[in-house]
Structure 1
Amino acid sequence: MPVVDAHQHFWNLETGSYPWLTPEAGPIFRTFEPEELIPQLAAAGVDRTVLVQSMDSYADTDAMLAQADAHDFVGAVVGWVPLLRPEEAAQALERYRRHARFAGVRHLIHDEPDPDWLLREPVIEGLGLLAAAGMPFDVVAVLPRHLEHVPVLAERVPGLRMVIDHLAKPPIRDKGWEPWASLLARAAECPGVYAKVSGLNTAADAATWTGEGLRPYVEHALELFGPGRLMFGSDWPVATLAGDYAKVWRETQVALSGLGDAERAMVLGGTAAHFYRMEER
């Protein structure tokens, strides 16, 4: 079974535009490209990655697909299409699906002023296009409101497969629990909804976080989704705001230490390979 990092990014500040990425972002306000990640993947024993969009733009998606063409370790690309403009989205999907490793769509919904952006009628129509194409949707659930939308979307867009990025950012830093835990449970009741064990270190205290500190949140997700609907992701290079790739990998093993070998292998690769249909790509 392959070992898969189901959530990582690249960006180039000289050739791309990322309005959210400003000097205030500190150490991640620079270019991150494959040559920097490759040795870190090798050290961790990661075989494939899922390269995820960093901006709602065709330029970012095109750049990621070019990286996939150049690097075999990129097993799948989660890009962007304009869901708010369904006719244009249909054309973009038709074009991007010709690329073997275009495997999903994401939109930076947490940057939208409207917290209910996902429930706009044109967006629902756009998500219906994804469902019809068998293309999954990555949900950036930063606010509780975003997580509330997941079961609504599951009902309104039958057949849409979704994955919740970063376990919807549980309140680890404050040692909180609700409403995150109950909202995640409601989302998990939908069989087509998966989740990523990713981005948890930046939801915790950057200086003191450990795998043991993440473990209650990860185990809650395991109880809800099971290993067959959970997948590991590093969230590199955002993860470097609170450690490095090696620490994220090491402490994730601690958080998953209650699992048997077969279950751990699912979270560390099997689930992502299945969800993004890497074997078909």
Structure 2
Amino acid sequence: MFIDTHLHVIDRSALNYPWLANVPSLDRDFLYETYATEAKRCGITKVLHMEVDVDPVIMQAETDYISRLGDLVAGAIVSCRPEEDGFAAYLERQKADPFVKGFRRVLHVVPDDVSEGVLFRENIRRLSGTGLTFDLCTLPHQVSKVVALTDAAPDVQFVLDHCGNPDIKSNAFEPWSRGMTEIARRPNVVAKISGIVTNADPASWTAENLRPYIEHVISSFGWDRVVWGSDWPVCTLANGLSTWVAATQAVLSGTAETERSRLLHGNAQRLWTL
């Protein structure tokens, strides 16, 4: 059984995604029905939708759209702008919606100093005690930014997306691995095993290419602080959902069932009360 904590749905007839114009490989519809058919065959039983950086004026419209999608979708990690004055009021509205499980603001598409702003950090600290998480989507050179932000909000639960985005294609295990070890020292950070197939060579990657990265994250964070995600449809750029599920199973094949179950579904169920 899998709980997928990182599904993106792209429906250009319903929502506006300005960034897609610069990413031709994803500039088309990737609809829930397409995902759900394959996901159910792979053993995925519940899903969290991850925000897709829609036009900021329709962030709420994206959440409303996702809430109507289908039977697998158990909640959403929604878009936000903690660097803006309106965040406090936006948070209050989201707290009233049990479908909302957390927030994300992708930090590698904005200047590094955005997360260092006083207002940004003050707004992130507002998540303390709400049960809502904050996903960190960063690059390896931004480890110091991750550490500073998570230290500034020690009572907030953070989730590090995509194993911190290692450059697997270039075999850049260092200094990425040292960065993961440092981040893992923060007990308020959970790591997400997701997204790394697109950081490997899309034409030739294997489960063995991914293994050292996945194993390092698990050994650094421990089995109680890791969750799994598909990163669909981005994973389709590196052979797709079923292949990523199979690669995950191959890497985890020598581990105990009690350990695998925590990564694949148990931790997500507990973290987001799914």
**Letter of the aligned partner of 1:127 in structure 2?**
I
Alpha-carbon distance in 1 for matches of 2:75, 2:260: 21
Please give the secondary structure, in 2, of the residue aligned with 1:21: helix
**Letter of the aligned partner of 1:119 in structure 2?**
E
Q: Is the 8 A contact 2:207 2:247 kept in 1?
A: yes
* Structure 1 position 258 matched with structure 2 position 254: yes
Partner residue of 2:113?
116
Alpha-carbon distance in 1 for matches of 2:57, 2:244: 30
Q: Is the 8 A contact 2:6 2:230 kept in 1?
A: yes
Q: Is the 8 A contact 1:51 1:64 kept in 2?
A: no
Alpha-carbon distance in 1 for matches of 2:69, 2:212: 39
* Structure 1 position 135 matched with structure 2 position 132: yes
Q: List per-residue Cα deviations over 1:111-162 (Å, max 9, x = no partner).
A: 11x12211111100110112242321000012412x2222222221120110
Alignment RMSD (CA, Å): 1.6
Partner residue of 1:14?
13
Q: Is the 8 A contact 1:206 1:242 kept in 2?
A: yes
Q: What is the aligned residue count? A: 273
Given the superposition, is the C-alpha separation of residues 70 and 14 from structure 1 closer, same or farther in structure 2, using an over 3 Å criterion?
A: closer
Identity among equivalent pairs (%): 29
TM-score by length of 2: 0.94
* Structure 1 position 197 matched with structure 2 position 193: yes
Alpha-carbon distance in 2 for matches of 1:130, 1:43: 36
Which of residues 143, 156, 162 in structure 2 aligns to 1:160? 156
Alpha-carbon distance in 1 for matches of 2:229, 2:160: 12
Q: Is the 8 A contact 1:44 1:246 kept in 2?
A: yes
**Letter of the aligned partner of 1:62 in structure 2?**
A
Which of residues 260, 263, 276 in structure 1 aligns to 2:272? 276
Worse-matched range after superposition: 100-109 or 132-141:
132-141
Post-superposition offset of 1:165: 0.3
Please give the secondary structure, in 2, of the residue aligned with 1:240: helix
Post-superposition offset of 1:212: 1.3
Partner residue of 1:236?
232
* Structure 1 position 33 matched with structure 2 position 31: yes
Worse-matched range after superposition: 240-249 or 65-74:
65-74
Q: Is the 8 A contact 1:28 1:240 kept in 2?
A: no
Q: List per-residue Cα deviations over 1:188-219 (Å, max 9, x = no partner).
A: 00111001110010000001111111000111
Q: List per-residue Cα deviations over 1:23-61 (Å, max 9, x = no partner).
A: x52332101121111111111010001100011525244
Partner residue of 1:148?
144
Worse-matched range after superposition: 12-21 or 259-268:
12-21
Please give the secondary structure, in 2, of the residue aligned with 1:179: helix
Given the superposition, is the C-alpha separation of residues 129 and 41 from structure 1 closer, same or farther in structure 2, using an over 3 Å criterion?
A: same
* Structure 1 position 169 matched with structure 2 position 165: yes
Q: Is the 8 A contact 2:49 2:66 kept in 1?
A: no
Please give the secondary structure, in 1, of the residue aligned with 2:30: coil
